[in-house]
A = this chain, B = another copy of it.
Amino acid sequence: MRNPRIPEAAIKRLPVYLRLLEELMGERVTIVSSAELSEKTGFSPEQIRKDLAYFGAFGTRGVGYDTEVLSRRIRKILGLHRTVHAALVGAGNLGTALARYSLSKYKDVRIAAIFDSDWDKIGKQIQGVEISPMEDLIPMVRRLGVKIGIVTVPAPEAQKVANQLVEAGVEALLNFSPAKIRVSQDVYVQNIDLTIELQSLAYYTSVASGEDDAETKSRL
């Protein structure tokens, strides 16, 4: 049902609005202006109005947005009006930390199953969720209605794991492995590659030359 014309960047801003709206609701704030949303998120008021207009959410001129109505609407747009089940594959350092962090923090996107191929890990629990063997992945993911797969296996395993998740009905993948995952076009893949984040960050420090000094000099 998703509207393909809504840019990815706008979708990424919705959880930011949602978090802020829910904080405001916690403080019993019932109305918020786009100027206030702008002040607290750092996005321009124009950007905010444009983002929300994609979904037909218009504030009352001179008053603002109803925090409860808007947060409910954003939850629905994102599919977070009910719990979305996720499966995490690869209970190494990163996978374990992500599972622990995520399970302690989120209720709307819930890691319902964790898989690993290491029999030393299988049977152990992370925040109450047992680590299951890879052999159980397809039947469990199907049975639990898992829609999101979190891939934290080493690169050589990533494609195989992605294939299994997709075969079992997963519709969106969060890939932390450095491997390029290829799946059919109707499956959404978001890559988070920590190597790339760290290495590209170096570019923005004074250590980076921005050009090849040696070759530049050799031309002089």
- The reply to whether A209 and B148 form a contact with Cβ atoms under 8 Å apart is no
Q: Mark A73-116, 1 if CB is under 8 A from B, else 0.
A: 10011111010101000000110111011101110110000000
Closest to A110 in B: B198
Contacts of A82 in B (CB 8 A): 207
Contact check, A56 vs B211: say whether CB atoms are below 8 A apart. yes
The answer to whether A3 and B210 touch across the interface, beta carbons within 8 angstroms, is: yes
Chain B residues, CB < 8 A from A63? none
In the complex, the answer to whether B200 meets A15 with C-beta atoms within 8 Å is: yes
- Using a Cβ–Cβ cut-off of 8 Å, how many residues does chain A contribute to the interface with B? 72
Q: Is the CB of B210 within 8 A of A42?
A: no
A219 CB → nearest B CB, Å: 10
In the complex the two chains form, is A209's CB within 8 Å of B77's CB?
yes
A53 at the interface (CB under 8 A from B): no
Q: What residues of B have a CB within 8 angstroms of the CB of A78 in the complex?
A: 199-200, 202-203, 208
CA distance A193 to B14 in the complex (A): 13
Give chain B residues whose Cβ lies under 8 Å from the Cβ of A29.
Answer: none
Q: How far is it, in angstroms, between the C-alpha of A215 and the C-alpha of B70 when the chains are bound?
A: 12
**Any B CB within 8 A of the CB of A11:** yes
Complex Cα–Cα for A194 and B99 (A)? 11
Interfacial chain B residues near A144, Cβ < 8 Å: none
For residue A220, CB closer than 8 A to chain B, the reply is no
Q: Are A201 and B188 in contact (CB under 8 A)?
A: yes
B210 x A197 contact (CB < 8 A): no
A41 an interface residue at 8 Å Cβ cutoff?
Answer: yes
List the 9 closest pairs (A to B, CB-CB), nearest first: A97-B97, A79-B208, A188-B204, A79-B207, A15-B199, A147-B205, A2-B210, A171-B205, A109-B198
User: What are 24 residue pairs bridging A and B, where the CB atoms are less than 8 Å apart in the complex?
Assistant: A11-B203, A14-B199, A14-B203, A16-B193, A41-B180, A55-B211, A56-B211, A78-B199, A78-B202, A79-B207, A79-B209, A86-B198, A93-B97, A94-B101, A96-B97, A98-B194, A101-B194, A102-B194, A106-B198, A148-B198, A172-B201, A172-B205, A174-B198, A190-B197
